[in-house]
Structure 1
Amino acid sequence: MVALLEPLQAPVEPVDALRRIAFLLERTRAGTYRVEAFRNAVKTLRTVDGAELAARADAGTLQELDGIGKSTSGVIAEALSGELPAYLASLQEKAGGPLVEGGGGLYGLLRGDCHLHSDWSDGGSPIDEMVLTGVETGHEWMVLTDHSPQLRVANGLTVERLRRQLKIVDGVNRSLAGQFTLLKGIEVDILDDGSLDQTDEMLGQLDLVTASVHSKLRMNEGPMTKRMVAAVSNPRVNVLGHCTGRLVEGSRGVRPQSDFDARAVFEACVEHDTAVEINSRPERCDPPDELVALALEIGCLFSVDSDAHAPGQLDMKAYGCERAEALGVPTDRIVTTWDVDRVREWAAPG
C-alpha cells in the first residue's frame, strides 16, 4: 500500500541523500532548476568510483566533477563523513509529512497509479527512477503513460519509440517479478473527431490506456461532447484523463474548463466501463467537485492519479485522495485501490 517515506537517518549514502532531497523538492513543487541540481548530481555520482569520491571530498575537489556544485558537494561531503546532511535534515522536517490533512485513510489504501510520465516524453526522470521511487513509496503497480505522437511539445512517442519503450517495461518486470508491476500504457490524445492518436495495433499491445484532450480545449459544447463520448466509448480506452482541461493555479497560469455535456460523457463512461480520473495535480484539481459528484451519482468508476512528471510528484495523489474522501467516493469504485490482476482484467477490451 502507498505510504510516506520514512525519514533517512545517518549514516546515509551520498546518492541516497541526493535522491531524497530531489524527491522532497519535487513533492512540494520547488523550481525545476533546484531539483535538477540534485538529480544531475546523482547521475554524476553513479559514474564515479567510491574511492575517488572519498579522495575528492578529502581534497575539497568535488566541484571539479561535472554536475556537482556548492550545495550538492556539501551534501556529498557530509554524507561521506557519516553525518545526516543538514539540508536533507531540514527538508525532512519541513516537507516530509503529509501534503494535506484529509484523505489519509484512502491514501493508505491505494495500490497503483494510472497516469505518470518519464523522460521519454515530458517527464523529468528516467523510467528506472520513477519505478524505484514507486517501489520505495509502497506502490504495487503503476502504469507508464507517456504522451502520444501529436503532442510534439511534450515529445510524444511515435510507434517506433513506443515499441522500444515496451521492451524496457518488459525488462523492468522481469527484474522486479513478484515485487512490483509496471503496466504498459499511454496517455493518448483524443483527436478532434474522438479518434485516438495511436495505431490500433500499438494500443492493442498495452495493458491500460488513459485518454485526454490536449488540443482545441475551447471547442464548442456539441462537438466537444461528441468527441469525448466517442473516445470513452472506444474499447481500448480505460481512463478519461483530466476531463475539463482546466488550470486553477501554477506557473502556466489559469485556464477555464472545456464546455461539454458532462452527463452524456459520464453516462458513456458507465456504459463502456471507463473510469473518470481524479487528477491530483494541484494546478488541475480536475474534475471540479460538482462534476465528481455528478459522476458519482451516475455510477462511474474513478481513478485517483498523480499525473506525475517527476518521482516526488507520485505523492500528489494525496490531494486527489483528500477530495475523493471528502466527496464520498466509495473505495471499491476507485481502480487505483485494486490489485494488479483486477486492474488487468478490468482494462482488457471486452
Structure 2
Amino acid sequence: MSRRDPVVDLREIARLLERHGGQTRRAQTFRRAADTLAALDADVRADLDARRGWGTLAGIGETTNRVIAQAHDGRVPDYLADLQAADGPLAPPNPVMAALRGDLHTHTEWSDGSSPLEEMALEALRLGREYLAITDHSPRLRIANGLDRERRLAQLAEIGALNEALPGFTVFAGAEVDILDDGALDGDEDTLGRLDVVVASVHSKLAMDAAAMTNRMVAAIARPRTDILGHCTGRLVAGDRGTRAQSAFDAEVVFEACRHFGVAVEINSRPERRDPPTTCWRWPPTWAACSASTPTRTPRGNSASASTGPPGRPRRGSRPNGSSRVGSRNGWPSGWRSGPRGGDSLGFER
C-alpha cells in the first residue's frame, strides 16, 4: 500500500474543521503539525519516518501523531475519514448561494485565522468565487494578533504578489477595524486609506448601555472609511469560544444610518455567529434583543460578508460595489436624530 502525504491530510482536517464547526483553535493544531512536518529537511524526515518518531517533534501531539502514522501506512486517517463522512453542502441549493461571487470578511493566520493567505485564496477559487477580501484585525485587538502599520504594509505587499500570481481572481486588501468607545476607527488614516475594504466592528464593552452603543455604532458608520458594519450584535451561539449574549442597540437607527451612508450590513454566516439574528429582520420586526425600543417598520440595509456584487478592484477606501457615500461623514455625526417611528426615513441631519 502506497503512503499518503500526512501534510496534505493534516491540512485537509484543518479545512474541514473550520468549514463545518468554526473550530479555529483545533484547526490550528492540525495546521501547525502540518507546517512542522513540511519544514523538515528531507534526511531528518526520512529518519523520523523510519523510526516512526514524529511524536518527538514539538507541536505533534497524540492525535496528530496518529494521523501522521496512519497516513504513513497508506490509510486514510480515521480522524479525516470521520470528517469526510460528515462533509456535505453547508446549505441546500438556493438562489442566494448560487449568486455568491465573493467574500468580504475573512481572517488569515496574520491575525486570528488559522489559514495562510494563499490557502484562503485557493479555497475561494475552489468554491467558484471571483474575489476575496482579506480583513485581518486592526492593532488594538491584541488578543486576536491585530496588525500594526508595519505588518499591515507587509501584508499588502503579499496580497499584491498573490494578485499577480492568480490572474482572473482578485484578492482585496482590507481590515476588520475596531470601533472604539467614541465611534472612532482603530488605525491611522494613511494605513486605512491604502485598503480596498474596511469592516468596522465592535469587539469591546459589548454589554454597554443600548443608547450609548447606538451612538457608538452610528458614529462609526458615519466615518468616511467605513464600508461594512461587521457582526452587529457581537453574539456567539456555538463554537470553541463558548457563547456570548448579543449587544443591545436601536437597530432601526443603526440600520437606517447604514442605508443613509451607503454602508453595508454584514450577514455573518460563520456557524458560531449567525449575526444579525433573524429577530433583527423579520416582519413585523421583533427587536427586543437588539433595540432599546420597538420600531414599527422594516430596516433597510445591505448584506455584505458573502457578496453577490461585482468584482474588480475598487478605488482605495471605497466599497467594492462602487456605491457612493451619502452626506457628510467627518467624524462624529453631530446633529443626527431619529425621525418619527414609522416614517420613510429616520431623518439623519447635518
The normalised TM-score by structure 1 is 0.76
Q: Gaps (5+ residues) in structure 1?
A: 1-9, 306-335
Question: Which of 210, 226, 230 is 2:215 aligned to?
Answer: 226
Question: Which of 40, 54, 57 is 2:49 aligned to?
Answer: 57
Q: Gaps (5+ residues) in structure 2?
A: 286-296, 326-350
Tell me which residue corresponds to 2:138.
148
Structure 1 CA distance for aligned equivalents of residues 304 and 202 of structure 2: 17
In proportion to residue count, which structure has more helix? 1
CA apart distance, 1:187: 0.7
Question: Which of 156, 159, 172 is 1:166 aligned to?
Answer: 156
Contact 1:54 1:80 (C-alpha < 8 Å) held by counterparts? no
Contact 1:238 1:347 (C-alpha < 8 Å) held by counterparts? no
What is the CA RMSD across the aligned residues, in angstroms?
3.0
Tell me which residue corresponds to 1:20.
12
CA apart distance, 1:185: 0.5
Contact 1:207 1:348 (C-alpha < 8 Å) held by counterparts? no
Q: Residue type of the partner of 2:251?
A: A
Secondary structure at 1:346's aligned position in 2?
A: coil
Q: 1:1-350 counterparts in 2 under 5 A? A: 12-29=4-21, 34-48=26-40, 53=45, 56-94=48-86, 96-100=87-91, 102=92, 104-178=94-168, 180-293=169-282, 297-305=298-306, 336-341=307-312, 345-347=320-322, 350=325
CA apart distance, 1:172: 1.6
Per-residue CA distance 1:161-191 (angstroms, 9 max, x = gap): 212221121122122222x322110111112
Q: Looking at CA atoms only, which structure, 1 or 2, has the larger radius of gyration? A: 2
Distance 1:225 1:106, change over 3 A: same
- Give aligned pairs, total: 308
Secondary structure at 1:41's aligned position in 2?
A: helix
Identity of aligned residues (%): 48
Secondary structure at 2:304's aligned position in 1?
A: strand
Which is bigger in relative contact order (C-alpha 8 A, separation at least 6)? 1
Structure 2 CA distance for aligned equivalents of residues 107 and 211 of structure 1: 25
Once the two structures are overlaid, the 10-residue window that deviates more, 293-302 or 37-46, is 293-302
Per-residue CA distance 1:34-56 (angstroms, 9 max, x = gap): 43442122112222356764564
CA apart distance, 1:207: 0.5
Secondary structure at 2:64's aligned position in 1?
A: helix
Distance 1:342 1:267, change over 3 A: farther
Structure 2 CA distance for aligned equivalents of residues 248 and 67 of structure 1: 30
Structure 2 CA distance for aligned equivalents of residues 242 and 93 of structure 1: 31
